[in-house]
Amino acid sequence: MKNPSLALARTLSHLTSLKPLPTAPRVDDDGDSLPSDLTTTETATTSPLLADDDGYLLPKSPTTSSPTKKATQLLSRKRQQLRIRWPYKCSYHVKPIGSDDLGHLKLFARPTAAPFACNSLTMTPFQSSGPLVGSDNSGLRPNTPLVPQSTTPFSSYGPVVGSESSGYVRPPPMAPQTNVPQASSFRPAPPARFNDPSVPPPPTSYAPTPAGPFPTPQFPSNQPPPSRPVIGSRPPFQPPAAQVPPPQLPLHPQQQIPLVPMGSPPQNMNYVPGTGRTNIPQPSSDSSFPALRPNSQPSFPGYVRQQSSADSPAPPVQSPFLSKQGSAPFQTTPPSFATHQAGYAASPPVAAPMGLQTRDRMQHSTLGPPAGSLQGLVEDFNSLSIGSSPGSIEPGVDLNALPRPLDGDMEPKLFNEMYPSNCSSRFLRLTTSGIPSSQSLASRWHLPLGAVVCPLAEAPDGDEVPVINFSNSGIVRCRRCRTYVNPYVTFTDAGRKWRCNMCSLLNDVPGEYFAHLDSTGKRVDLDQRPELTRGSVEFVAPTEYMVRPPMPPLYFFLIDVSVSAVRSGMIEVVAKTIRSCLDQLPGFPRTQIGFATYDSTIHFYNLKSSLTQPQMMVVSDLDDIFVPLPDDLLVNLSESRSVVEAFLDSLPSMFQDNLNIESAFGPALKASLLLMRQLGGKLLIFQNTLPSLGIGRLKLRGDDLRVYGTDKEHVLRLPEDPFYKQMAAEFTKFQIGVNLYAFSDKYTDIASLGALAKYTGGQVNFYPNFQSSIHGEKLRHELARDLTRETAWEAVLRIRVGKGVRFTSYHGNFMLRSTDLIALPAVDCDKAFAMQFSLEEALLTTQTVYFQVALLYTASCGERRIRVLTAAAPVVPDLGEMYRHADTGAIVTLLSRLAIEKTLSSKLEDARSSLQLRIVKALKEYRNLHSVQHRLGGRIIYPESLKFLLLYGLALTKSTTLRGGYADVTLDERCAAGFTMMVLPVKNLLKLLYPSLIRVDEHLLKSSGHDDLTSIEKRLPLTAASLDSRGLYLCDDGFRFILWFGRVLSPDIAMNLLGPDCAAELSKVILGEHGNEMSRKLMRMLNKLRESDSSYYQLCQLVRQGEQPREGVLFLSNLVEDPIGGTNGYVEWVLQIHRQVQQNP
Amino acid sequence: MSFDLIFWVLCFFFDLALLSSNFYQLVILSDLEADYLNPFESSSRINFLIVPEFIVHGLLCAIFLLTWHWLLFLITLPLACYSAMLFVNKRHLIDVTEVFRALSGEKKFRLIKLGFYLFLLFIIIFRLILSAFNSLTSDEHYVDLF
């Protein structure tokens, strides 16, 4: 064995393979637990505490023969046809001399006789074959292209002095705090202090008093937070002003705009004059208007009732209402029904039949002013009148009054405020943070009940997740349920025991972890224990959590070099991008890299560091694929840097004359698996044509119009050949994550190819009709991000939840390794996973339900870590509370994933209607909740927290995946969008569903020099009515920018922005910077927008008003509120939902 | 040894094979559910058995037909047709990537099959004993009722 790390891995795997696999009793199912087929070598037979860790999967038995031997045998046995191909097609076939043990070496040496004549026409990117012999022989020298320091990770688990193993290179964001050997730096102090490790903390910080100079969290970690705080009954400790978000206030994550939707006590004070009236619905005022008959057919369907903004010029009574509508932009609309205003003022909004009314009725608060007690039973909900205006009979909805998420995603503030130790909502979002107390209650909540987890979400500066090393005590976990220690555990018995918050088991505190309790029952070292104060921490995992040493990050590139790939310029962009990213690949200096290309044959590249030029090896036997060289195809990047660079430089020119149209994709995949199975890693596939050769070849089954609408429709969106699913499963098994980049202008069956990414935790990037001149920039940025973002390797994720609740289904790109363990060969910050839970017991007895996400992974630096995210949510006994705690973003994410999964088993139409049905059911339940107390008349009511649900539901049915049928979206695009939407975190998904539309020409004309994003980002409703043909608009859905030029836009602007191209057809124009202020300003603005959302690159596309059909496809399809092509507009959608809600069951 | 006895012994072993195969698959599935087995292992083990099981079942069905055991043929026919349908639609194998989603359905399917083969086994044992009895007392066919 040449290589120590390889040898170790093999030994380990050998040991593992000896264990009786299926029957080994699992001691516990812990979290990051060991998949049953793999047992840790050391721990399997020892105490249960040790045995539970997890896993990482070893290749089952790569033990029998070393790859070297195997390949040699293969070679000699089969007398493979092996070609050494020189650039420019001067390759020829060589018969191996099989009898020799070094046969394969000679084989590569053969081409010394290569016809140089054909080589001479151009410069040769590869070295001439002369030196080949020598270099091949040296291929057997014991160089260690694999991680030379692969054993170092273990050193950190030894008894490291201090609480931190400072010997580790940590990822840059963590560096400031983690390298400080003093535990005190973990104190939950303000970030400023956190970031300054060089300043030793004052000695007082060690004083074991919680009342030290450092702020402690609001809820002491060892006391359970007050269970189920009823919002309404909380003492009004917040000034009302704090609850009134000014309408244009930019939503800042840190900003506390809590409780907005919930009627909260402080307002009782403002309410005093009007309380008597507000909660008594006045039937008289209802009757003063024509009967509301939403079911009657509109005679003027287009009629839109103007918002009379009943609340704006109102007496003091209504000021709270006004302020409550903070996020609703429509209150600024001029009151057009002035004559009615008096009436509205006299009869409070309850009774007003038109317009949007936010009824904020507080729950009676005993602490509130006496007037509050008059309010009695109260709920808060929004309503939208489906009424008719005087003189007309058709039902109408005020278009302007409809709620729109123009401020972007609202993160659930309330959730984190009640439980300050919860992890941030960017990591974990529950669809409702009020957990139903009983099964019957849960069954009345028709929306999904679950969570969206984005375990590696990018943290803003100063809020990084602290890394903790329990170097000698081991990670503290519950004995029974394997919960990690977290802020919600309670310490008792003078600190000797701790009670698990999930299963209430009393555990012993390990000796090294012991600390005394102070008079309030808190641990005295609380401020030095981030795991006891923060909901998101990372533990350094000791050796029990690994079955093999952490592998180095491996990037393997599988590049299609057939003629279409060459023509589109993809190869060049890819090669250049990879080359430019070599410095930033994570995991230096251990990073491994490898390349293979394929057309009708598969080409491997020997990148051994001793070579000066890479060598190409061609395998043309596709039926029995093998790897021509056991080592040196995957090399250590830092050692072989110059060879890799030489390869990437020559790659584009190497194939520029290639005329091969075939694609041996399946065999190439198998070869990649053979190569990567030792190490795992990331496989990046650049695929340009439909796989046509060898195993896994696909038919042009195409997009058949006749299939749509039949029972066979969904089959189009499923993988055609089970080969791809099997390969995906194999890849996951060997810890290989696949990212697919597809470029074709023709049908490439993304549905089949995407399965590779779907089950390996990867992603699909689809560039239809790729042209490097147009899409090159997008590919460059997205590939660069893929290569350079912090990635977690060999990961498994499990979410634990308290007693009585169980996670039942998981949705996203991953493969389930056991019923509740998500296997993720490679995962990064742009991936989110959704899951649904259900109640196991009829009645929950606890007051709070805890959720704990544990992601066990190998960081790029080679350290095994466990990221633990903990959150608590109150159990609520009634449906109203559940609605009040609902989180639209998480609900929409789950709904969209469910809908996409539905399209894989039924028609698009069915997926849309089941989505609609779900929304209708939810709103109907909500209506039933309130229809007893209130006269609802013809109004559609919905909870404040779900006010955007209707719109997002509509946008979802119009999204690329669910929209229309055959003609609306090509099959490949639909599938690619589906794969993408299955991984998107909440924020990105919401932006994709409801893109932001902003008017830019006014901003560009303004002479003010500063480019403040907030000043321009006034989002407009996505309807054609927002567009002015004199304007220039930017539509940003997070994936692309569309710049819309109004028909009568001032020619100056167009001239300035486009230069001489302004008269040309815009589809061919690429927006670039021209030498004038306006153009620069626009580019600055676009770049700023791109920086704010860097997970995808937004390519700017230009479209002119009236430029059909391009405008329709590109731009108008984003205007989700408009009725386009037979779909519902927002108004019709609301009316339709309302009708269905009103229908009796 | 009469032909009849050989026939029933053959049926007995066929059915026993089917029964044990189903039982084994069921055990694997519950192991998978309890996390004693990983999906790769369990689905490859089950998939290895599925086609042989279909073939044995088809054989059983065919020999019932060829030997004019109409009742037993009609009893085994629906399952044979269903299996053939699964095979034609390529849905007979367990999909390793989605195995957990299909787990409860697959378990139920195998449980029903297990019951079915058990029932069949009782009939076959009864007939086996009868024919054994008949062949031993070959001169007097007392109980040749069936």
Find which of A36, A711, A730 to mutate to test the B interface (most B CBs within 10 Å of its CB). Answer: A36
- Residue A902 pLDDT greater than 80, yes or no: yes
Instruction: Please report the pLDDT score of residue A945 as a whole number.
Output: 86
Domain topology for A886-994+1129-1144: Four Helix Bundle (Hemerythrin (Met), subunit A) (1.20.120)
- Residue A785 pLDDT greater than 90, yes or no: yes
Are the C-beta atoms of A751 and A764 separated by less than 8 Å? no
Question: Which of the residue ranges A203-217, A309-323, A841-855 has the most confident prediction, judged by mean pLDDT?
Answer: A841-855
B27 contacts in chain A (CB < 8 Å): none
Q: Which amino acid is residue A455, in one-letter code?
A: P
B96 contacts in chain A (CB < 8 Å): 725-726, 729
Instruction: Please report the pLDDT score of residue A121 as a whole number.
Output: 35
Question: Which of the residue ranges A89-98, B3-12, B116-125 has the most confident prediction, judged by mean pLDDT?
Answer: B116-125
Which of B35, B96, B101 faces A29 most closely, judged by CB atoms? Answer: B35
Contact assignment for B41 to A809 by CB distance below 8 Å: no
Tokens 């058995």 belong to residue: B49
> How far B78 CA sits from the closest chain A CA (Å)?
24
Give the Cα separation of A606 and B50 in Å (integer): 43
State the pLDDT confidence band at A742, using cuts at 50, 70 and 90.
very high
Which of B33, B41, B93 faces A21 most closely, judged by CB atoms? Answer: B41
Name which of A672-686, A746-760, A1024-1038 the model is least confident about.
A1024-1038
pLDDT tens-digit readout, A693-707? 999 888 888 667 788
Q: Which amino acid is residue A116, in one-letter code?
A: F
State the pLDDT confidence band at B117, using cuts at 50, 70 and 90.
very high
Tokens 């030793």 belong to residue: A200
Name which of A296-300, A502-506, A1088-1092, B137-141 the model is least confident about.
A296-300
A53 contacts in chain B (CB < 8 Å): none
- Average pLDDT of the segment spanning A185-206: 39
Instruction: Please report the pLDDT score of residue A841 as a whole number.
Output: 87
Task: Record the tokens describing residue A875, joined without a space.
Answer: 């159990």
Tokens 């104190």 belong to residue: A187
A37 contacts in chain B (CB < 8 Å): 37-38, 40-41
- Residue A510 pLDDT greater than 50, yes or no: yes
Return the CATH number of A995-1119, one of 3.40.20.10, 3.40.605.10, 3.40.50.10800, 3.40.720.10.
3.40.20.10
Contact assignment for B39 to A729 by CB distance below 8 Å: yes
Top-level class of domain A475-533:
mainly beta
Residue-wise over A535-553: b if at least 16 C-beta within 10 A, else e?
A: bbbbbbbbbbbbbbbbbbb
- Residue A66 pLDDT greater than 70, yes or no: no
Q: Which residues contact A423 (CB under 8 A, 6 or more apart)?
A: A534, A535, A536, A853, A869, A870, A871
> Regarding beta strands A1040-1045 and A435-436, do their DSSP bridges make them parallel or antiparallel, or are they unpaired?
unpaired
User: How many other CB atoms are found less than 10 A from the CB of residue B144?
Assistant: 11
Contact assignment for A819 to B35 by CB distance below 8 Å: yes
* Helix axes of A971-981 and A750-758: crossing angle, nearest 10 degrees: 10
Q: Does B4 touch chain A (CB under 8 A)?
A: no
Where are the extended beta strands (E) located within A877-950? 939-942
Q: Does B36 touch chain A (CB under 8 A)?
A: yes
Contact assignment for B32 to A818 by CB distance below 8 Å: yes
A26 contacts in chain B (CB < 8 Å): 34-36
Q: What is the mean pLDDT of chain A?
A: 71
Contact assignment for A817 to B95 by CB distance below 8 Å: no
Name which of A339-348, A714-723, A1060-1069, A1124-1133 the model is least confident about.
A339-348
Paired strand residues for A857: A865
Contact assignment for A726 to B38 by CB distance below 8 Å: no
Task: Record the tokens describing residue A494, joined without a space.
Answer: 């003078």
State the pLDDT confidence band at A1053, using cuts at 50, 70 and 90.
confident
Name which of A121-125, A946-950, A1021-1025, B99-103 the model is least confident about.
A121-125
Burial class (CB in 10 A: 0-12, 13-18, 19+), A240: middle
Instruction: Please report the pLDDT score of residue A400 as a whole number.
Output: 72
DSSP SS3 for A355:
coil
> How far B33 CA sits from the closest chain A CA (Å)?
6
Name which of A190-194, A588-592, B35-39 the model is least confident about.
A190-194
Contact assignment for A35 to B38 by CB distance below 8 Å: yes
Give the Cα separation of A661 and A694 in Å (integer): 14
Paired strand residues for A1032: A1045
Check residues A1059 and A753 and name the one with the higher pLDDT.
A753
Q: Which residues contact A281 (CB under 8 A, 6 or more apart)?
A: A350, A351, A934, A935
Instruction: Please report the pLDDT score of residue B75 as a whole number.
Output: 93
Tokens 């000043």 belong to residue: A1015
Are the C-beta atoms of A546 and A864 separated by less than 8 Å? yes
Instruction: Please report the pLDDT score of residue A1110 as a whole number.
Output: 76
B36 contacts in chain A (CB < 8 Å): 22-26, 36
Contact assignment for A23 to B36 by CB distance below 8 Å: yes
Q: Does B96 touch chain A (CB under 8 A)?
A: yes
State the pLDDT confidence band at A507, using cuts at 50, 70 and 90.
very high
Longest Cα pair distance anywhere in chain A, in angstroms?
103
Q: Does B144 touch chain A (CB under 8 A)?
A: no
Are the C-beta atoms of A788 and A458 separated by less than 8 Å? no
Name which of A140-149, A809-818, A1039-1048, A1057-1066 the model is least confident about.
A140-149
**Concatenated DSSP letters for A1006-1037?**
-------HHHH---B-SSGGG--TTSEEEEE-
- Residue A644 pLDDT greater than 70, yes or no: yes
B31 contacts in chain A (CB < 8 Å): 22
Are the C-beta atoms of A173 and A464 separated by less than 8 Å? yes
The residue range of the domain holding B136 is: 1-144
Instruction: Please report the pLDDT score of residue A994 as a whole number.
Output: 92
Give the Cα separation of A354 and A290 in Å (integer): 12
Are the C-beta atoms of B33 and A819 separated by less than 8 Å? yes
Cα three-residue angle A448-B103-A446, rounded to 5 degrees:
15
Question: How many beta-carbon contacts under 8 Å exist across A and B?
Answer: 60
Cis-peptide, bond into residue A420, ω within 30° of zero? no
Give the Cα separation of A361 and A374 in Å (integer): 11
Instruction: Give the residue from A672, A681, A578, A570 showing the smallest Cα distance to A619.
Output: A672
CA distances from A95 to A133, A459, A834 (A): 16, 56, 53
Contact assignment for A729 to B97 by CB distance below 8 Å: yes
The pairs formed by A176-181 with CB atoms below 8 angstroms and a separation of 24 or more are A177/A464, A177/A466, A177/A467, A178/A466, A178/A467
Instruction: Please report the pLDDT score of residue A126 as a whole number.
Output: 44
Q: Which phi and psi (to 5°) does residue A817 adopt? A: -100, -30
pLDDT tens-digit readout, A272-285? 333 333 333 343 33
Burial class (CB in 10 A: 0-12, 13-18, 19+), A914: middle
Instruction: Please report the pLDDT score of residue A1002 as a whole number.
Output: 81
Find which of B100, B101, B104 to mutate to test the A interface (most A CBs within 10 Å of its CB). Answer: B100
A816 contacts in chain B (CB < 8 Å): 39, 99-100
Instruction: Please report the pLDDT score of residue A1144 as a whole number.
Output: 67
User: How many other CB atoms are found less than 10 A from the CB of residue A665?
Assistant: 30
Q: Which amino acid is residue A174, in one-letter code?
A: M
- Residue A522 pLDDT greater than 80, yes or no: yes
- Chain B residue with Cα closest to A35: B38
- Residue A166 pLDDT greater than 60, yes or no: no
Cis-peptide, bond into residue A87, ω within 30° of zero? no
Tokens 């996951």 belong to residue: A732
Four-point Cα dihedral A685, A686, A692, A694, nearest 10: -30
Are the C-beta atoms of A598 and A558 separated by less than 8 Å? yes
- Chain B residue with Cα closest to A759: B97
Are the C-beta atoms of A769 and A745 separated by less than 8 Å? yes
Task: Record the tokens describing residue A645, joined without a space.
Answer: 């660079």
A733 contacts in chain B (CB < 8 Å): 40
Residue-wise over A126-142: b if at least 16 C-beta within 10 A, else e?
A: beebeebbebbeebeee
Instruction: Please report the pLDDT score of residue A283 as a whole number.
Output: 39
Cα three-residue angle B88-B92-B96, rounded to 5 degrees:
135
DSSP SS3 for B52:
helix
> How far A611 CA sits from the closest chain B CA (Å)?
40
- Residue A913 pLDDT greater than 90, yes or no: yes
Where are the extended beta strands (E) located within A273-369? 356-360
User: How many other CB atoms are found less than 10 A from the CB of residue A337?
Assistant: 18
Q: Which phi and psi (to 5°) does residue A921 adopt? A: -60, -45
Give the Cα separation of A935 and A286 in Å (integer): 9
Burial class (CB in 10 A: 0-12, 13-18, 19+), A461: exposed
Contact assignment for B96 to A809 by CB distance below 8 Å: no
Instruction: Please report the pLDDT score of residue A856 as a whole number.
Output: 95
User: How many other CB atoms are found less than 10 A from the CB of residue A702?
Assistant: 13
State the pLDDT confidence band at A936, using cuts at 50, 70 and 90.
low
B87 contacts in chain A (CB < 8 Å): none
- Chain B residue with Cα closest to A34: B35
Burial class (CB in 10 A: 0-12, 13-18, 19+), A61: exposed
State the pLDDT confidence band at A1114, using cuts at 50, 70 and 90.
confident
Contact assignment for A722 to B37 by CB distance below 8 Å: no
Distance of CA A355 to the CA centre of its chain: 37
Supply the DSSP symbol for B46: H
Domain A554-789 part of CATH 3.40.50.410 = yes
Name which of A334-338, A808-812, A852-856, A963-967 the model is least confident about.
A334-338
- Chain B residue with Cα closest to A60: B41
> Regarding beta strands A536-540 and A467-468, do their DSSP bridges make them parallel or antiparallel, or are they unpaired?
parallel
Contact assignment for A722 to B35 by CB distance below 8 Å: no
Are the C-beta atoms of A304 and A272 separated by less than 8 Å? no
Q: How many domains does chain B have?
A: 1
pTM: 0.72
Are the C-beta atoms of A57 and A735 separated by less than 8 Å? yes
The interface pTM score, or ipTM, of the predicted complex is 0.88
B33 contacts in chain A (CB < 8 Å): 819
- Chain A residue with Cα closest to B104: A819
Name which of A174-183, A620-629, A1101-1110 the model is least confident about.
A174-183
> How far B1 CA sits from the closest chain A CA (Å)?
43
Contact assignment for B35 to A818 by CB distance below 8 Å: yes
- Residue A804 pLDDT greater than 60, yes or no: yes
Where are the extended beta strands (E) located within A269-401? 356-360, 380-385
In chain A, domain spans: 427-458+790-876, 475-533, 554-789, 886-994+1129-1144, 995-1119
- Average pLDDT of the segment spanning A604-626: 89
Supply the DSSP symbol for A477: B
Q: Which residues contact B86 (CB under 8 A, 6 or more apart)?
A: B92
Which of B36, B99, B100 faces A22 most closely, judged by CB atoms? Answer: B36
pLDDT tens-digit readout, A16-30? 333 333 333 333 334
Which of B33, B95, B97 faces A819 most closely, judged by CB atoms? Answer: B33
- Residue A5 pLDDT greater than 90, yes or no: no
**Superfamily name and number for A427-458+790-876:** beta-sandwich domain of Sec23/24 (2.60.40.1670)
